[in-house]
Structure 1
Amino acid sequence: MKLNSTVLLTLILLTLMLGAGSVSAFWGFTLGSSALKGVTTPDGRPTSKFTTSKSSNSQAGSLVLLREEEILKIVKARIEGKTKAAKSEKLDEDEEETNNQQKPQEKPSEVAEEKPQKGFPVTAENKGVTFAVQSARYSGGDLLLRVKMQNKGADSVRFLYSFLDVTDDKGRTLSASTEGLPAELPANGPTFSGTVSIPTALLDDVSKISLSLTDYPAQELKLEVSNIPVEK
């Protein structure tokens, strides 16, 4: 009796296990099927490749190809257009250059001549050589005498400006320096300009000064410019 009950219990357990396994298998199959819905395998058939190639060829065939004549016309038109533009630019440049040439060249503005000062110019002349003091002004601690020289004689004349004598109205010798004056005046030459500078400290009580210059080395020509007003 006891043995029969054990066999019956074992059969019941086996039945339950088989049932549970069947239910689990069915449930897993159902879940897997639902998960794989819409998933397809790649098409490895050769016919599909030909189909794709045909479709791409049909798309390429939709492009409109120009004929050779039309292409040549377009290229020719562009070349002619560029040529005309280049010719137009060239004509504009030539016209502008012609207009510039026709216009009178503007001369650089020359430095305005100083207005004549009272008592100037003070001039000395000897054997066709002219020595003229055009003006006098104070600047930067110096008295600046603007000087012009010209040789209208037949022979050139040389000068050494260390021989330039400067004296005041009291007979005192003053130191001076020159700038821009030529070492030689050519015969029948142009006018040369320069500056004679005298320190202001030497002119506190001076109203007039005199300049004396001889040629070098002969010292046969003497230029004396006297009574140059230098009052401040």
Structure 2
Amino acid sequence: MKLNSTVLLTLILLVLMLGAGSLSGFWGFTLGSSALKGVTTPDGRPTTKFASNKASNPQQGGLTLLKEEEILKIVKARIEGKTKAAKSEKLEEDDEETNSSKPKPEEKPQEVAEEKLQKGFPITSENEGVTLSVQSVRYSGGDLLLKVKMQNKGADSVRFLYSFLDVTDDKGRTLSASTEGLPAELPANGPAFSGLVSIPTALLDDVKKVSLALTDYPDQKLKLEVSNIPVEK
């Protein structure tokens, strides 16, 4: 009798537990359903997304494909444009090379022009194949400049010491002078050498002509004299 009451009590408890579990599950499902109302799952399909984008952006232009003929025309035009540009650059380079290769006319020194304008020059003295000539005279910067040319056509070289150069005026007075560019030695059968003889203009107030005299060094065997060089302004 006691065993039957225990079994009965156990069955009652199981029924109550099952009922309570079912009731709580139903209640939870009801609350969840009410909470998820209006919530939808996002659509991950790409075709749907593209369709929705097109529908939302009706003004956006679509992709236009060019025809093969138009593409060929564009490519041909670009090639022709590059070819013309390359040809024009080549022509410009050829013109520059032609202009640069043309021989420029030689500019004659100013001193040469002055020499041609002066009458009575050059004045030359020669001794034993050695020549001393005055090519021109001009005033510059407070000095009288005599352009001098020397050459040795003899068989032996000749040396000079230009401190032995005597410069005198038409009254026989000795004038101080300096030389520039004249060689200390003239080689045998050598070329002509040019230089300057400078005389301060302060010494030439009443002078119309000057003379030059030069001997070799140290032998002093030959003497070169250039006389009556006009120096009037």
How far the C-alpha of 1:127 sits from its partner, in A, is 1.5
Matched residues, number: 188
Q: What is the aligned partner in structure 2 of residue 54 from structure 1?
A: 54
Q: How does 1:15-94 map to 2 (within 5 A)?
A: 52-55=52-55, 62-66=62-66, 71=71, 74-75=74-75, 77-94=77-94
Query: CA 1:197–1:74 in structure 2 vs 1: closer, same or farther (change >3 Å)?
Result: same
* One-letter amino acid of the counterpart of residue 145, structure 2: L
How far the C-alpha of 1:124 sits from its partner, in A, is 0.9
Q: What is the aligned partner in structure 1 of residue 174 from structure 2?
A: 173
Paired residues of 1:147 and 1:195 also in contact (CA < 8 A) = yes
Q: What is the aligned partner in structure 2 of residue 136 from structure 1?
A: 137
Report the 3-state secondary structure (helix = DSSP H, G, I; strand = E; otherwise coil) of the residue aligned with 1:223.
Answer: strand
- Cα shift readout 1:82-105 (whole Å, capped 9, x = no counterpart): 13431343245336635764x554
Q: Gaps (5+ residues) in structure 1?
A: 1-43
Indicate whether 1:106 and 2:114 are aligned.
Answer: no
How far the C-alpha of 1:180 sits from its partner, in A, is 2.7
Distance 2:189 2:114 in 1: 24
Distance 1:229 1:73 in 2: 84
How far the C-alpha of 1:231 sits from its partner, in A, is 4.2
Give the TM-score taking structure 1 as reference length: 0.62
Paired residues of 1:134 and 1:145 also in contact (CA < 8 A) = yes
Give the TM-score taking structure 2 as reference length: 0.61
* One-letter amino acid of the counterpart of residue 85, structure 2: A
Q: What is the aligned partner in structure 1 of residue 126 from structure 2?
A: 125
Q: What is the aligned partner in structure 2 of residue 196 from structure 1?
A: 197
Distance 1:198 1:206 in 2: 12
Indicate whether 1:224 and 2:212 are aligned.
Answer: no
Query: CA 1:53–1:94 in structure 2 vs 1: closer, same or farther (change >3 Å)?
Result: same
- Cα shift readout 1:175-214 (whole Å, capped 9, x = no counterpart): 1011232333333333333221112222334443321112
Q: What is the aligned partner in structure 1 of residue 155 from structure 2?
A: 154
Percent same amino acid at aligned positions? 80
Which stretches of structure 1, 4 residues or more, deviate above 6 A after TM superposition? 44-47
User: What root-mean-square deviation, in Å, do the aligned CA atoms of Structure 1 and Structure 2 show?
Assistant: 3.6
